[in-house]
Chains A and B, each alone.
Chain A
Amino acid sequence: MRPAPWRSYLVGEIELRVQGPGASRFVRLCTDSRVPVARLRWDGDALRLKLPPGELRRARRLARLAGVRVRLEDRRGLPFFIQGLRARLGTVVGCLLAALALQGLTAVVWLVEVRGAVRLPQEAILSAARAAGLRPGRLRWGLDLNAVERRMLLALDELSWVGVELKGVVATVEVVEKDPPPPPPPPAYPLELVAACDGIVHTVLVFRGQALVHPGQVVSEGQVLIRPPPPLPGRPPHAAGLVRARVWYTGEAAVPLVGRQDRMTGRVHLRRSVRIAGRVIVLSGRRVPFELYESCRHVLRVGWRNVNLPVEFLTDAFFELERKHRHLSPDEAAHLAEGLAREQAVTLVPAQARILSSRVERTDLAGEVRVSVAVEVLEDIGLPRQAVESP
């Protein structure tokens, strides 16, 4: 019966090289003595064969009888593998320790991320997660994500749903916030419309109440525009209407005649480092050879599928900058300053306002040009406020 290959591997197998005129006799003696030889083949004038390691002593005795020389050529199988491992005990222990360390490092939650938070601050969510048992440094085993979700939902009234996902060493807390509460009901006390800012009234349209201003009138901030109507049953005494006025917004900017400009030279320096469990070890390029530079970082995370290791490879690229001084003519400086001042003024204009015109004033000073831009807009300046005097 032929032995199974796995049995040969478990028991082990040695290969012998038999040389001499009595090689055939040696084979005969082996078969007669029931030595389980296998893979007998001729290799030039020598015979090669395989047999279990336990039969080597018997084979050597038969070789002496046959008058042949026997040389051990190869050893294979589990016993020899274990023997080899014993000889390299340090390597085996190192591998085991590395595997244990890796297992230990990946058994811990290293990072807790929050997604979906709009109004609620992230710190509040992280604090609730911590209280529910999810925090960096916590062991992954035994972490009941459903329980964490339930506890967080109970702790934070502002949330309508919480989902916790554990991916490698990163836990992601995804939240859905509740819709904001409806606006409060209108107050029962009388309301009047006052001017939100200074301006010249352009249009007055009264829905409820009595207008106190007329088109062309200059109004100042806080001045009453529409007085509330007399109280009626079931209807609060609230003034309502539309008061459009011309309002000015100004922006100012100064540009020096000698400008400074940084430009990339094209030289790049790379720094490679590795971050293991929060500690950064620089591998190369520690010193940046540029005085002035801009930098950006590329992070490569190590992982496979949903297993992420707490190891990151960082590459920092430093781009050398060259500082140049640029001399501007007064007109060029004024042009630049006007752009900046206009941008500043326009950012103050409310979204619903319509820009009518703008006025530019330029002042040339020693070494710089100052420009002021006034933008004239048409906007609704009515602002509801509790009436000081009842109608």
Chain B
Amino acid sequence: MLRSLDLPADVVLDLPRLTIVGNLEFTLENHQGLAGFSPHELLIITRSGPIRLRGRDLVIDGVHEGEIRASGRFASLEFGSAEEDHG
């Protein structure tokens, strides 16, 4: 249905929109909150499940109105399921 109507999924299903510049900059829109933060890990809750960003020297540049921006040296990005988040 989404494909046939050519509608953006993030708007219709209220899903997060993620932008990464290389392994240095990370921007996540439409999140549900910050679950954890350490110099090596950033855990963000979204409607589609938790998003885990791993790396070193992680810095949260800003948290505003449904947007989180972070920078550092990213090593991996992991998406969890919605059940895992709620469980």
A residues adjacent to B (C-beta < 8 A) = 1-3, 24, 27-28, 30-32, 34, 36-42, 47, 49
Q: Tell me which of B37, B62, B63, B65 contacts A24 (CB under 8 A).
A: B37
- Which of B6-14, B15-23, B28-36, B76-84 is near enough to bind chain A? B28-36
Contact (Cβ within 8 A) A2 B64: yes
Residue B61 interfacial (CB < 8 Å): yes
Are A28 and B34 in contact, CB atoms less than 8 angstroms apart?
A: yes
Question: In the complex, are the beta carbons of B33 and A34 less than 8 A apart?
Answer: no
Q: Is the CB of A27 within 8 A of B37?
A: yes
CA distance A148 to B27 in the complex (A): 69
* B69 A2 Cβ-Cβ under 8 A: yes
Q: Contacts of B58 on A, CB cut-off 8 Å?
A: 41
Looking across the interface, which residue of chain A has its beta carbon closest to that of B34? A31
Q: Tell me the dominant secondary structure on chain B's binding face.
A: strand
CB of A39 within 8 A of CB of B33, answer: no
Given A38-B63, A40-B59, also A24-B36 (CB < 8 A): yes
CA distance A47 to B59 in the complex (A): 10
User: How many angstroms between the C-alpha atoms of A24 and B43 in the bound complex?
Assistant: 11
B67 and A31 contact, CB distance less than 8 A: no
Interface size on B, residues (CB 8 A): 19
Given A28-B33, A31-B33, the answer on whether A42 and B63 have CB atoms closer than 8 Å is: no
Given contacts A32-B33, A39-B59, contact A24 B38 (CB under 8 A): yes
Interface residues of B (CB under 8 A from A): 33-39, 57-65, 67-69
B37 CB to closest chain A CB (Å) equals 6
B38 & A42 in contact (Cβ 8 Å cutoff):
yes
B65 contacts A34, C-beta separation under 8 Å: yes
Cα(A239)–Cα(B29), bound, Å = 116
Whether A28 lies near B35 (C-beta < 8 A) is yes
**Closest CB in chain B relative to A220 CB, distance in Å:** 111
Which residue on B lies nearest to A42, using beta carbons? Answer: B39
* Residues of the B chain whose Cβ atoms lie less than 8 Å from the Cβ of A36: 62-64
Task: Indicate the member of A31, A36, A39, A42 with the most B CB atoms within 10 Å.
Answer: A31
**Minimum C-beta distance from B65 to chain A (A):** 7
Contact status B33-A38, CB under 8 Å: no
Residue numbers in A under 8 Å from B64 (CB-CB): 1-3, 36
B69 contacts which chain A residues (CB < 8 A)?
Answer: 2
Other 13 A-B pairs with CB < 8 A, given A3-B62, A30-B63, A34-B65: A1-B65, A2-B62, A2-B64, A2-B67, A27-B60, A28-B34, A31-B34, A31-B63, A31-B68, A38-B63, A39-B59, A41-B39, A42-B39
Contacts of A34 in B (CB 8 A): 65
**8 Å CB contact of A41 from B34, B59, B68:** B59
Considering the chains assembled together, what is the distance between the CA atoms of A340 and B35 in angstroms?
108
Nearest opposing residue in chain B for A49, CB measure: B60
What is the bound-complex CA distance between A284 and B55, given in angstroms?
66
What residues of chain B lie closer than 8 Å to A38, measured between beta carbons? 60-63
12 contacts between A and B (CB under 8 A): A1-B65, A2-B67, A2-B69, A31-B63, A31-B68, A32-B33, A37-B63, A38-B63, A39-B60, A39-B62, A41-B57, A42-B39
Interface pairs A-B: 10 shortest CB-CB: A40-B60, A38-B62, A41-B59, A42-B39, A31-B34, A31-B63, A37-B63, A28-B34, A24-B36, A27-B37
Nearest-CB distance from B31 to chain A (Å)?
9
Which of A1, A28, A41 is most buried by chain B, counting CB atoms within 10 A of its CB?
Answer: A41
